[in-house]
Amino acid sequence: MRKVHRCRFSILSRICLISFIILATFTFINQEIFKLNNCRGLEQDSAVPTSSIPSRYLLIPYREFAYRTSISCNAYKLDQPDKELSQLHPKYSQYLRGAFPYVIPYTNITYEDVENFYNTKSNKSRLAMRQISFASNIEFENIPYKYENGMWSPIGVTSAQRTAILVPLQDRDYNAKAFLLNMHAFARRQLLTYLIVIIEQVYPINSRFNKGRLYNAGVRYIQQNQQKLNITCFILHDVDLIPENDGNFYTCESKHPKHTTLRIRKLNSTSDYSRFYEFLIGGALILTFDMYKRVNGFSNLFWGWGGEDDDLSLRFIQRRACVVRPSYELANYIALPHSNGRSNNARFKLLTWSTVRLDTDGYNKIDSMIRIVHILNTSTVLHLKIDVDANHIYYKSASIGNSQLIYNKTYADLTTTRGPVTTRVAKKLTSM
């Protein structure tokens, strides 16, 4: 009796073992096929495991998609405004000088130098050129401008738009000063009414650059001060790029965002301009608040160099929007040198499920994520110093853990009803 029982038991356990092996092999093969189909070419050391992305969502093989998809509005011409004195478009500015040489200041230039330069009233004639001592061989035309209620505007002229130039910054102080020096002159030659906002990431110390959060924070700040500023056009601008042609108008188009960085040349480089892939809208992007809001601004999840601008392109595609571009001879930029920031190893994985997050990850969530640490307001710059991780999720955890945590939270927000999820996630965060 005992013998028979032991025998039955051993047959049963063998069957169980064999079934388990078959099942495990099958699951493993299945997973590998899934990975091969969906993740070919993705970063291996990413912080966001692709296997945790809900399978019912369409994952976009980003590189493939970007190479095959056009972000340009085909057959669309840039606005051709008539000359209206009550709303003067830059194309009618008498100060345009075509391909204007940029100014590279000495390395010891200070923010005060820039401030003093643009605030010194010249007694000379209206068109007198100004010589500056913190750069060699430089002259800017002295165009009559006034500073009022936080904005610069041309004297005796009403600009067509009121423009905020937003410039995210981390560790590139010299570039910021060179940018300010050149951009004020450039904006004035186009007779813009404008202000320049530097949005600097100062906390958490040593964290990777989160450009998306900085742009969202900058736009949010402007929106909160709209009564005073009444901005009608936003320019999202890299700090290391200086436009080289006055015909590259820094104005919002009526219907579409405008991407103006088509060709870039490195300073002091002997090589020619480089052109980037068609899908890229980074560098300088000009758009209205409505256009920005339509795509819920930038994703807040990109830590480190790369990908946040491609994510924005995907958002435009998702919202069936496209961008317009000036002709490429006008859209030339000089790129100032700088050390490279740490890159974002998770970027390709984040890009695969970009469009899924659009409504829950972006401008609408920025208030809870950032804190303005300091505001410095001079006439040449509104300098916002920002803690980009107000909840200190990133700071407390290792960088790898961070993306995973934010990912989980966003995923939970997306897939479950709001109430219980928020409590559950909050508990998890405080227990870290």
Name the residues that contact ligand NGS, by CB under 6 A: 276, 280, 282, 306-307, 309-310, 347
Q: How far is the CB of 281 from ligand NGS (least distance, A)?
A: 9
Are residues 191 and 153 in contact, defined by beta-carbon separation less than 8 angstroms? no
280 or 421, CB closer to ligand NGS?
280
- Burial (CB count <10 Å: 0-12, 13-18, 19+), residue 217: buried
When the beta carbons of 247 and 282 are compared against ligand NGS, the nearer one is 282
- The least CB distance from residue 117 to ligand NGS, in Å, is 29
Question: Where are any strands of DSSP class E within 53-192?
Answer: 129-131, 139-141, 145-148, 151-154, 162-169
Question: 236 pairs with which residues across the strands?
Answer: 166, 285
Whether residue 204 is preceded by a cis peptide bond, meaning omega within 30 degrees of 0, is yes
Q: How, if at all, do strands 371-377 and 382-387 pair?
A: antiparallel
Cβ closer to ligand NGS: 153 or 175? 175
Angstrom distances, CA of residue 301 to CA of 228, 361, 362: 31, 8, 9
Q: From the CB of 347, what's the least distance to ligand NGS, in Å?
A: 5
Q: Report the residue number, 325 or 347, with the smaller CB distance to ligand NGS.
A: 347
Q: Which residue of the chain is nearest ligand NGS when measured via CB?
A: 306
- Give rounded-to-5 percent helix, strand, coil for the chain: 40, 20, 45
Q: How far apart are CA 302 and CA 70, in angstroms?
A: 23
| DSSP letters spanning 374-411 | EEEE-SS-EEEEEES-TT-HHHHS-HHHHHHHHHHHHH
| Helix, coil or strand: residue 269 | coil
For ligand NGS, the closer CB: 167 or 390: 167
We find the least distance from the C-beta atom of residue 302 to ligand NGS, in angstroms, to be 9
Minimum CB–partner distance for residue 38 and ligand NGS (Å): 17
Sign of the four-CA dihedral 335, 130, 177, 312: negative
Question: Cα–Cα distance between 6 and 153 in angstroms, integer?
Answer: 94
Nearer to ligand NGS (CB atom), residue 307 or residue 362: 307
Nearer to ligand NGS, 9 or 276 (CB): 276
Min separation Cβ 84 and ligand NGS, Å? 36
- In whole angstroms, the minimum distance from the beta carbon of 85 to ligand NGS comes to 39
The nearer residue to ligand NGS, 343 or 397, going by C-beta atoms, is 343
- Distance in Å, CB of 123 to ligand NGS, minimum: 43
Closest to 199 measured CA to CA, from 365, 371, 399, 341: 371
Strands (E), 74-209: 129-131, 139-141, 145-148, 151-154, 162-169, 193-203
